[in-house]
Amino acid sequence: MEGKVCGGTSEPNKATKDVQKLCDEVKHQVEEKAGKKFTTYAAKSYTTQVVAGTNFFVKVHVGGNDYIHVKIYKALPHTGEKPKVSAVQCSKSQHDAIEFF
């Protein structure tokens, strides 16, 4: 675990197809928490935090110059739990760093 803080978040990574799939799976939860519908909804980058499962902190492009940060908790596979949106931060920009929230 060189260079990592136990319980800390990973370095930002470019979003993968799997991260987009995870975001798509919880889109309705994101829209509910944000109080609006998104026609553009593209994961751009993410960090992770390993807990009893994994927290994903994802920067999502939602149109124009608008971005949101989404915190998604994905439980360990054996639990059978579906991913859950813990929090959404609106009014973000492309240049805002993804930080723990």
Report pLDDT digits (tens) over 77-89: 889 999 999 999 9
Report pLDDT digits (tens) over 7-60: 677 788 999 999 999 999 999 999 999 999 999 999 999 999 988 899 999 999
User: Can you give the pLDDT at residue 72?
Assistant: 97
Q: What is the rounded distance in angstroms from the CA atom of residue 5 to the CA atom of residue 46?
A: 17
Strands (DSSP E) along the chain, which ranges?
13-14, 42-51, 53-63, 66-74, 84-92
Q: Which CATH class is domain 13-92?
A: alpha beta
Q: Where are the domains of the chain?
A: 13-92
Asked if 69 and 18 count as a contact pair (C-beta separation under 8 A), the reply is no
Output the pTM of the full model.
0.86
